[in-house]
Chain A
């Protein structure tokens, strides 16, 4: 069974609805951000990224918003599907720095049929 993520904040959404997952990042110097998706028993996988010179970036069914003023990221998933059920992490880095990412705590997304 999965022990990772049992105590994480959980967002439950109805299938077909839109999901919004939020993340507060820590370093005001961070200039590159990624959202990862982690399914049960697997390592995190890249979903979408955004640079600090952008406020918004869209992918397929996903949109990332960046608010540098308050150091906040959000991930929007349109028309949420059962396959979107997972734990979602944001990660930040300074691209001129030491090649490390700092990860947020994560949010569990549960899609209700």
Chain B
């Protein structure tokens, strides 16, 4: 059981370039999330999805886009990379039980992105 898989693990982008961070889960979870983690800061929610075809903004959505065409996949798109987007990005998933007791989110291992 792979859980939540993120690719790539590391990436360096030049200012203005675009890229997609991939996230796939094999647990049939309805809820998926993208967080960013900056040094000295907690996890900030970028976007989330409560099911295929449904997405919504989190705390820090500017500069990002998402789509959720399938239950398994929740890619995060950066259209015009900026140095402020240098961060570690985590994808997470959950089902309803994760909010009613048990384990919360299942996180991926993260993507470390540097924009230069």
Contact = CB atoms under 8 A, between A and B. Distances in A.
Contacts of A45: 107
B100 A32 contact: yes
Contact of B40 (A7, A100, A104): A7
B13 interface: no
Contacts of B74: none
Contacts of A4: 37-39, 88
B39 A105 contact: no
B88 to A, nearest CB: 5
A98 B42 CA distance: 20
A86 to B, nearest CB: 13
A60 B96 CA distance: 25
Contact of B42 (A41, A93, A95, A105): A105
Give the size range of A's interface with the partner: 20 to 34
Given A4-B88, A7-B39, A95 B100 contact: yes
Interface in B92-116: 92, 94, 96, 99-105, 107-110, 112
A7 B39 CA distance: 6
Interface stretch (B14-22, B43-51, B61-69): B43-51
Contact of B41 (A34, A43, A105): A105
A103 B42 contact: yes
Contact of A36 (B39, B88, B104): B104
A91 interface: yes
Given A4-B39, A43-B4, 5 more contacts: A7-B39, A41-B109, A44-B107, A49-B101, A99-B96
